[in-house]
Amino acid sequence: MNDALYKLIRAHYRTLEGYVSAGMEMAKDDRKIFLNANENPYELPGLEGLNRYPEPQPKALLEAYARAYGVEADQVVMTRGADEAIVILTQLFCEPHEDAVLICSPTFGMYGVDARSMPAGVVDVPLLKQEGTFALDKDGIIAAATDQGKCVKLVFLCSPNNPTGTSFSHEVISEICEAVEGHAVVVLDETYAEFSENGSMAEDLESTPNLIILRTLSKSYAFAGMRMGCFLCGDTDFTALARAKALEAYPLPLMSIEAAFYVLSPEISALAKENIKKILAERARMAAALQESDHVVHVYPADANFLLVEMNDAKGFYNYAAAQDVILRDFSAKPGTEGCLRISIGTPEQNDIVLKLLSEFQK
């Protein structure tokens, strides 16, 4: 394993013996009688096959993920959503009570929640507000992540960022990776990458030893209910270690595995891509229409499937919409997004309802 990762992994993971599940010892094969995993031999009607534990990381599904994300199968670790990948990486790198993760607020809340539950520290280098949008404070991030006293092990960058919708340039992210190498690992959360023209940094993984990328089927593949995500790393010794020592015995539900093959098939992937185009067209329409409203102060430029909208009375409109069964996300009281609501892009009909409510809303 490359030093940029190996030296930062918590010491006990280097020697820890991972659990070897019955499923790992012997691949399932219809001709064999399996009495090694305390499974129930009686299948219930309509639930055939579900009496057996699933394969922890099915090779064919790793290959399907690899094709979708432009990497090799052994560079993928499949997890229950990107959410679980965040937990696993925090556990792998952060020594409780000693180490910290770096976040750039306003950003996805789970980075901080998972760190605090270790407990590990959270060092915040807030995004800079510049010309009506947000930017990474590159120098601030590098200074904090290389400050020995702060013990930052993971730098979470989210691009496009939730809740601001901002994409950050690959160049700046590469510069951060290079500058913090040996001090910290950069975890780039690409949960919304399919909605951005910037695309993915997966092709930089081989040449960037301290870069790990999070991906998920939840958003672009409309698969949130199945909880399927992954992390990607160029170093296959690291992904092998993570699979052997940091995953649960049977991390992926069988029905999620089977449905993931289906959603990643060429036919269904093509439909998902068509839907992304519809969402992007609606995002543009909504951004323009919202900006026209007297209630709206600013619609932040967005690269994901939602818009961050600053309003004169965000809380009032949130409550007004909720009273009519339209549920938006209220960020108005959070630092960095004061006065803002986050509005997911829905179908044209759903979006029209939001616009209608806005036109009817009296301050």
Ligand X SMILES: Cc1ncc(COP(=O)(O)O)c(C=O)c1O
Rounded to whole angstroms, how far apart are CA atoms 150 and 88?
21
167 binds ligand X (CB under 6 A): no
- Contact residue for ligand X among 23, 58, 81, 251 (CB under 6 A): 81
Which is closer to ligand X, CB of 157 or CB of 358? 157
166 binds ligand X (CB under 6 A): no
Q: Look up tokens 């499937």; give the residue.
A: 305
Which is closer to ligand X, CB of 167 or CB of 218? 218
Rounded to whole angstroms, how far apart are CA atoms 318 and 282?
21
- Contact residue for ligand X among 9, 68, 77, 82 (CB under 6 A): 82
What is the closest distance, in whole angstroms, from the C-beta atom of residue 27 to ligand X in the complex?
A: 27
57 binds ligand X (CB under 6 A): no
What is the closest distance, in whole angstroms, from the C-beta atom of residue 264 to ligand X in the complex?
A: 15
Binding mask 122-161 for ligand X (x = CB under 6 A): ------------------------------------x---
Measured in degrees and rounded to the nearest 5, phi and psi for residue 326 equal: -110, 115
Q: What is the sign, positive or negative, of the torsion defined by CA atoms of 320, 323, 325, 331?
A: positive
What is the closest distance, in whole angstroms, from the C-beta atom of residue 214 to ligand X in the complex?
A: 6
- Going from the C-alpha of 24 to that of each of 28, 37, 241, 251, 314, the distances in angstroms are 9, 11, 14, 12, 52
Q: Interface with ligand X by CB under 6 A: which range of 42-50, 53-61, 75-83, 170-178?
A: 75-83
Rounded to the nearest 5 percent, the helix, strand and coil shares of the chain are: 40, 15, 45
**Measuring CA to CA, which residue among 280, 363, 258, 269 is closest to residue 316?**
363
83 binds ligand X (CB under 6 A): yes
**Measuring CA to CA, which residue among 109, 346, 81 is closest to residue 223?**
81
Site for ligand X in 168-227 (CB under 6 A): 189, 191, 216, 218, 224
**Where do contacts with ligand X occur on this chain (CB under 6 A)?**
81-83, 108, 158, 162, 189, 191, 216, 218, 224, 229
